[in-house]
Structure 1
Amino acid sequence: MAVFVALGAFLMTLFGGWTAQRVTDRRHLVLGLAGGLMLGVVGLDLLPEALHAAGEEFLGVPRALLLFVGGFLVAHLVERLLAVRQAAHGGDPHDPAGPGHTHGHGPGTDGRVPQVGLTAASAMVGHSLMDGVALGAAFQVGGGMGTAVALAVIAHDFADGFNTYTITSLYGNDRRRAVAMLVADALAPVLGAASTLLFTLPEELLGGYLGFFGGVLLYLAAAEILPEAHHDHPARSTLLCTVLGVGFIWLVVGVAG
């Protein structure tokens, strides 16, 4: 049953990615919505679940929050290290624009590092895999629990697909790579649900992972996605899309709860 439900998550993820592709002429609205969805997922879904699953304290601080901060710092360090590495190479010396020029493969990607986008998208794939694991585990507990988790997973996998395609493209990766990461993200919950037929993931390990991943997502939303959304179009409509993104996740979490 869990694997069958995960196929719904597969379709919703692809639909989210397709939506992100079709609105390229309103890129600032796409990024504003993506940032809101990511903030909502982190604050209203990932962190509460992480604190519940791995709420033990270490030196007075819940382990999930320590890993959350660690995820934020790791995302920041990875981006800075990759940016410094690219700057040290000076770009393409044969480029007519000069040695320091960088090429983007999408709008607004000048100076961005494609590897950061691929790393972030890979983290999204890992999160979707854990969604599938959580879905399978919930159905092992009971049908009611499985239905509630299925609703949450299927609904917010639209946001996962939307964000996976947007993040990959934002950092200068071409459409082929963005679609490849989107397909990987769509397949991940199916594989995760199927894996629960073979093993059970310890609750504390799952909570720690969710906390760490929440920190990574928060960094990407606050330091990259939202500033990029408002860079060329500091419009009220962009802010409204961000608020709507958060509100959508709040609605999903409320209905599933």
Structure 2
Amino acid sequence: MAVLVAIGAFLMTLAGGWTAQRVTDRRHLVLGLAGGLMLGVVGLDLLPEAIASAGGEVFGVPAALLLFVGGFLVAHMVERLLAVRQAAHGADGERVPEVGLTAASAMVGHSLMDGVAIGAAFQVDHGMGIAVALAVVTHDFADGFNTYTLTRLYGNERRKAVAMLFADALAPVVGAASTLLFTLPEQLLGCYLGFFGGALLYIAAAEILPEAHHDHPARSTLLFTVAGVCFIWLVVGVAG
């Protein structure tokens, strides 16, 4: 059952990537929407689930929040190191393609864990599996949208963006199938979600949204960002 549901996530991811490809003439709106979707996924989906699952506190701070900050800092350091390396080769000020591929790879890793989450939920209870699957399948549209957008944003060729999109689409199927072989501890899943949420927030706040408003500081871009957050809120509410 979990693998069949993950196939739905596969199709939704491809649908999100296809949508991102068809709106190149409204790039600022695409980026604004992508930023809103990412903010919504982090604040309304990943972080609450991470806090609930990651276990106790470390020196008075929930473990999930420590990993959340760690993910943010790691994303920042990776981007800075890649930017410095690019500048050393005389390309200062240009987009670093490796950053886009790294970010897209993180999305693939997240989708893999989405599939694992579906399988693990079905291991606990059929009703819980359905609820988790609904949330995952719905927001995988945003994952596909963001994976393609992130890869192209940093100057990568279209074929690389499509390859990352297909990898992201296949990841939940692989993740769900893997749970037929093992049981994932809930605490480990929560820790991963916290760390990934921090990295995703950095990408949204430091890269996607500033780029969306750089050439087109329009109200429509802001409205698309708010719409992205509200869409994830609706998904979380329906799934809950």
The answer, yes or no, to whether TM exceeds 0.5 is yes
Q: Does 1:251 align with 2:199?
A: no
2:31 maps to 31
Give the distance between the partners of 2:197 and 2:166, measured in 1 at CA. Answer: 22
Query: Partner letter of residue 213 of structure 1?
Result: F
Give the distance between the partners of 1:116 and 1:183, measured in 2 at CA. Answer: 19
Give the distance between the partners of 2:123 and 2:202, measured in 1 at CA. Answer: 34
Q: Does 1:192 align with 2:179?
A: no
Give the distance between the partners of 1:147 and 1:71, measured in 2 at CA. Answer: 29
Give the distance between the partners of 1:81 and 1:237, measured in 2 at CA. Answer: 34
1:44 maps to 44
2:54 maps to 54
Shift of 1:90: 1.1
Deviations 1:82-131 (A, max 9, x none): 1011111114xxxxxxxx6xxxxxxxxx7110001101100100000000
Give the distance between the partners of 2:71 and 2:120, measured in 1 at CA. Answer: 25
Superposition pairs for residues 1-257 of structure 1, below 5 Å? Answer: 1-91=1-91, 111-257=94-240
Shift of 1:50: 0.4
Pair member with larger Rg: 1
Give the distance between the partners of 1:254 and 1:15, measured in 2 at CA. Answer: 22
Question: Which segments of structure 1 move beyond 2 Å, counting only runs of 4 or more?
Answer: none
Shift of 1:142: 2.0
Q: Any gaps of 5 or more consecutive residues in structure 1?
A: 92-99, 101-109
Shift of 1:55: 3.5
Shift of 1:150: 1.1
Shift of 1:188: 0.3
Query: Partner letter of residue 21 of structure 1?
Result: Q
1:104 maps to none
SS, match of residue 6 in structure 1: helix
Give the distance between the partners of 1:164 and 1:55, measured in 2 at CA. Answer: 30
Q: Any gaps of 5 or more consecutive residues in structure 2?
A: none
Give the distance between the partners of 2:122 and 2:80, measured in 1 at CA. Answer: 41
Give the distance between the partners of 2:5 and 2:175, measured in 1 at CA. Answer: 12
Give the distance between the partners of 1:207 and 1:135, measured in 2 at CA. Answer: 14
SS, match of residue 112 in structure 1: coil
Deviations 1:38-73 (A, max 9, x none): 000000000000000113110111111011001001
Paired-residue identity, %: 85
Give the distance between the partners of 2:199 and 2:161, measured in 1 at CA. Answer: 19
RMSD: 0.9
Query: Partner letter of residue 27 of structure 1?
Result: R
Query: Partner letter of residue 142 of structure 1?
Result: D
SS, match of residue 155 in structure 2: coil
Give the distance between the partners of 2:133 and 2:191, measured in 1 at CA. Answer: 21
Equivalences, count: 240
User: Which structure shows the bigger proportion of residues in helix conformation?
Assistant: 2
Shift of 1:146: 1.2
Query: Partner letter of residue 233 of structure 2?
Result: W
